[in-house]
């Protein structure tokens, strides 16, 4: 049976979402699945709305773009407003606690999680917000294994930041599981 | 079992890996989105294999230096996008007439002019064939996946070496920037073709543009190896010297055209799926092929008899096969990221034998499977 999950990571440029998408796709490949990562961006390198898309499937993936997402991560209000319409009706919205949710009675599942606060305040390193978010996504969806995700993160992050990033993943797992 | 490397890789990166596997030793270009990664990675990797990378002052010079690198004996490549592809055209014609093997990559973005720099397009398909003036031989391939980008880049080098002609790899932003799983073949699994060179005992008798018995193209000496020859964009004789002679000009141009048209079977690649009972065929290439495949699978699940034709070699076109499809009365739909370019060639070949439909899109977004499916339902 085809089991395909389409994920959209959104926020502002510079939050490391494209790297986050690459890591998620690499973790899926380590699990033995197929994965495609793509992005759309404007000519500017920082600021603005940025998104990365990941499709993970146990079959060959034809169309490489995400149309309606099974899961939307929105780290900023701008990104939430821009992409919420592209979430499936029964999809999952993982949104940073700083974002004001307009829809009072949505058909999709909403999870408000302090991802940026955890990275900036608790860990003191805003740049690991993308890794915290990956931990949350993994714990919520099980779309990649924890073992492969950790391996994929460590393959990509700069030397000397391994422990910091492992801790960021762990914070993500805790944020997601504390909610149940 | 082979111990192949499995990686997540971007299309542009796979292009460089393919070029290196094919033996590329020289890259000259001028970076432009969405092809920039190709220049960037070449600049990192070529020095590691004893090759050279040079960033020129513009795309024209990038193309000129690519020709120079090849004349000096190195397998050479340049990469660009629409605006740069336009600038390279005059020198592409020069390479075609002077029979200089080289590879030109065009990662197509939405045009005309500087258009939408980060958005995909297939708007340069006709330019690949007619961009430079005069009749000239053209080979152009277009990949649909990261793995195919690797394979076809190798193929571009092989074809350019074999037929002594510039070969174009028509990527698009969809495939160039997408990351996907690729299994890199091992070196001994990759077929490599190197240009035929004259032997040292021919130093005194060498004619740079004489085709020896049983050969497709003249043997190519490298500059600096002791062979005297002249290279020009003018019509030329067997020594390479300019000639105004009518017979010489006619013979030369027909020879360089025929080396391609006589070998279409060797050059043209295509794939078909779901064809047996098809009443309609979606003919697609490049990034749009992926949307087409998804749409055809959806159509099949709905019981619609739709087939799929993937044009891998864009130029020359597989005329024989498309005429057969037309004679079978299968309708043909050509979705492409332009307002109907390749469909013109399909219409020309089909010549009214069956219905041909176009689905074009130019807003900078990929054609979705649902858009193709809607068109399929409209046509059937």
**CATH code of B306's domain:** 3.40.50.920
Residue B109 lies in a domain: yes
Is the pLDDT at B1 greater than 70, yes or no? no
Domain boundary among B157, B189, B221: B189
**For residue B180, which residues of chain A lie inside 8 Å, CB to CB?**
34-37, 61, 64
- Band (pLDDT 50/70/90 cuts) for residue B49 is very high
- Nearest to residue B101, comparing CAs of B256, B252, B248? B256
**For residue B366, which residues of chain A lie inside 8 Å, CB to CB?**
63, 65
Residue B247 lies in a domain: no
- Which pLDDT value is given to residue B165? 98
* CB-based contact B118 A42, cutoff 8 Å: yes
Rounded-to-integer distance, Cα B338 and Cα B100, Å: 31
Compute how many other C-beta atoms are within 10 angstroms of the C-beta atom of residue B5: 11
Residue B368: left (phi > 0), alpha (psi -120 to 50), or beta? Answer: beta
Is the pLDDT at B329 greater than 80, yes or no? yes
The residue in chain A having the minimum alpha-carbon distance to the alpha carbon of residue B179 is A37
The number of distinct structural domains making up chain B is 2
**For residue B370, which residues of chain A lie inside 8 Å, CB to CB?**
67
Domain boundary among B142, B164, B189: B189
Chain A residues 138-177 with CB within 8 Å of chain B? none
- Which pLDDT value is given to residue B128? 98
- Which pLDDT value is given to residue A165? 97
Q: Are residues B41 and B149 in the same domain?
A: yes
Q: Are residues B33 and B181 in the same domain?
A: yes
pLDDT, one tens digit per residue, over B270-306 is: 999 999 999 999 999 999 999 999 999 999 999 999 9
Residue B360 lies in a domain: yes
**Angle B245-B65-B128 from CA coordinates, rounded to 5°:** 70
* CB-based contact B297 A62, cutoff 8 Å: yes
Rounded-to-integer distance, Cα B253 and Cα B250, Å: 5
List of residues 6+ apart from B133 with CB closer than 8 A: B90, B93
* CB-based contact B8 A25, cutoff 8 Å: yes
Percent of chain B at pLDDT exceeding 70: 99
Under 8 Å between Cβ of A125 and A158: no
pLDDT, one tens digit per residue, over B122-145 is: 999 999 999 999 999 999 999 999
* CB-based contact B368 A67, cutoff 8 Å: yes
Chain B contact for A25 (CB, 8 A cutoff): yes
Under 8 Å between Cβ of B173 and B120: yes
Q: Which domain holds residue B321?
A: 271-379
Domain boundary among B140, B162, B189: B189
Q: Which residues of chain A have pLDDT under 70?
A: 1, 41-47, 179-180
Quick one: CA dihedral B149, B153, B159, B162, positive or negative? negative
Residue B140 lies in a domain: yes
Q: How far is CA B354 from CA B91, B251, B306, B346, in A?
A: 39, 37, 15, 10
The residue in chain B having the minimum alpha-carbon distance to the alpha carbon of residue A68 is B368
3-state secondary structure of B332: strand
- Which pLDDT value is given to residue B3? 65
- Interface with B, mutate which of A62, A68, A144 (most B CBs under 10 A): A62
**For residue A37, which residues of chain B lie inside 8 Å, CB to CB?**
8, 178-180
**For residue A43, which residues of chain B lie inside 8 Å, CB to CB?**
33, 117-118
Residue B120: left (phi > 0), alpha (psi -120 to 50), or beta? Answer: beta
Q: How far is CA B244 from CA B233, B241, B248, in A?
A: 12, 10, 8
Chain B contact for A44 (CB, 8 A cutoff): no
Chain B residues 113-172 with CB within 8 Å of chain A? 117-118
- Which pLDDT value is given to residue A102? 83
Q: In DSSP terms, which residues pair with B188 in a beta bridge?
A: none
Q: Which of A25, A35, A63 sits opposite B294 (nearest CB)?
A: A63
Residue B176 lies in a domain: yes
**For residue B6, which residues of chain A lie inside 8 Å, CB to CB?**
29
Class (C level, CATH) for A4-177: alpha beta
Residue B19 lies in a domain: yes
* CB-based contact B174 A64, cutoff 8 Å: yes
Percent of chain B at pLDDT exceeding 90: 98
Region B338-353: what's the mean pLDDT?
A: 98
* CB-based contact B117 A43, cutoff 8 Å: yes
- Which pLDDT value is given to residue B237? 97
Residue B164 lies in a domain: yes
Chain B contact for A45 (CB, 8 A cutoff): no
Residue B40 lies in a domain: yes
- Which pLDDT value is given to residue A2? 78
* CB-based contact B181 A38, cutoff 8 Å: no
pLDDT, one tens digit per residue, over B185-221 is: 999 999 999 999 999 999 999 999 999 999 999 999 9
Q: Are residues B20 and B144 in the same domain?
A: yes
- Which pLDDT value is given to residue A105? 85
Is the pLDDT at B47 greater than 80, yes or no? yes
Q: Which of B7, B177, B294 sits opposite A62 (nearest CB)?
A: B294
Q: How far is CA B56 from CA B66, B71, B78, B79, in A?
A: 10, 18, 11, 12
């Amino acid at each position: 049976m085809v089991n395909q999950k389409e994920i959209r990571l959104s926020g502002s440029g510079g939050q490391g979402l494209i790297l986050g998408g690459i890591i998620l796709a690499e973790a899926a490949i380590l699990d033995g699945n197929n994965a495609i990562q793509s992005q759309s961006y404007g000519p500017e390198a920082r600021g603005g709305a940025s998104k990365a898309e990941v499709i993970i499937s146990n079959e060959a993936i034809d169309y490489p773009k995400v149309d309606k997402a099974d899961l939307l991560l929105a780290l900023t209000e701008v990104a939430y407003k821009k992409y919420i319409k592209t979430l499936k009706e029964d999809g999952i919205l993982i949104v940073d606690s700083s974002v004001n949710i307009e829809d009072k009675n949505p058909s999709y599942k909403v999870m408000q999680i302090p991802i940026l606060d955890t990275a900036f305040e608790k860990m003191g390193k805003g740049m690991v917000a993308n890794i915290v978010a990956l931990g949350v996504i993994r714990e919520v969806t099980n779309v990649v294994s924890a073992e492969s995700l950790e391996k994929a993160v460590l393959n990509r992050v700069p030397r000397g930041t391994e422990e910091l990033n492992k801790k960021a993943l762990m914070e993500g797992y805790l944020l997601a599981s504390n909610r149940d | 079992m082979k111990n192949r490397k499995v990686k997540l890789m971007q299309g542009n990166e796979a292009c460089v890996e393919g070029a290196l596997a094919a033996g590329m030793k020289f890259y000259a270009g001028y970076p432009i989105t969405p092809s920039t990664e190709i220049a960037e990675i070449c600049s990192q990797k070529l020095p590691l294999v004893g090759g050279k990378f040079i960033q020129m002052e513009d795309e024209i010079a990038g193309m000129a230096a690519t020709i120079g690198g090849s004349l000096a004996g190195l397998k050479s490549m340049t990469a660009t996008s629409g605006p740069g592809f336009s600038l390279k055209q005059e020198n592409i014609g020069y390479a075609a007439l002077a029979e200089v093997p080289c590879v030109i990559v065009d990662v197509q973005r939405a045009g005309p002019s500087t258009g939408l720099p980060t958005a995909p397009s297939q708007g340069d398909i006709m330019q690949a064939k007619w961009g430079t003036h005069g009749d000239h031989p053209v080979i152009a391939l277009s990949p649909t996946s990261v793995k195919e980008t690797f394979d076809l880049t190798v193929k571009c080098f092989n074809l350019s070496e074999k037929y002594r002609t510039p070969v174009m790899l028509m990527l698009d932003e969809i495939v160039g920037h997408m990351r996907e799983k690729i299994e890199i073949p091992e070196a001994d699994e990759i077929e490599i073709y190197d240009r035929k060179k004259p032997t040292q005992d021919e130093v005194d008798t060498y004619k740079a543009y004489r085709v020896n018995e049983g050969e497709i193209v003249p043997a190519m000496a490298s500059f600096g190896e002791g062979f005297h020859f002249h290279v020009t964009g003018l019509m030329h004789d067997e020594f390479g010297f300019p000639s105004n002679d009518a017979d010489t000009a006619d013979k030369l141009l027909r020879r360089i055209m025929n080396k391609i048209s006589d070998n279409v079977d060797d050059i043209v690649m295509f794939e078909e799926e779901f064809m047996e009972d098809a009443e309609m065929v979606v003919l697609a290439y490049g990034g749009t092929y992926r949307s087409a495949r998804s749409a055809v699978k959806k159509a099949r699940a709905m019981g619609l008899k739709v087939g799929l034709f993937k044009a891998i070699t864009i130029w020359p076109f597989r005329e024989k096969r498309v005429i057969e499809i037309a004679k079978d009365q299968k309708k043909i739909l050509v979705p492409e990221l332009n307002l109907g370019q390749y469909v013109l060639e399909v219409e020309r070949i089909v010549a009214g034998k069956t219905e041909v439909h176009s689905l074009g899109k130019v807003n900078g977004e990929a054609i979705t499977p649902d858009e193709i499916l809607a068109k399929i339902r409209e046509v059937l």
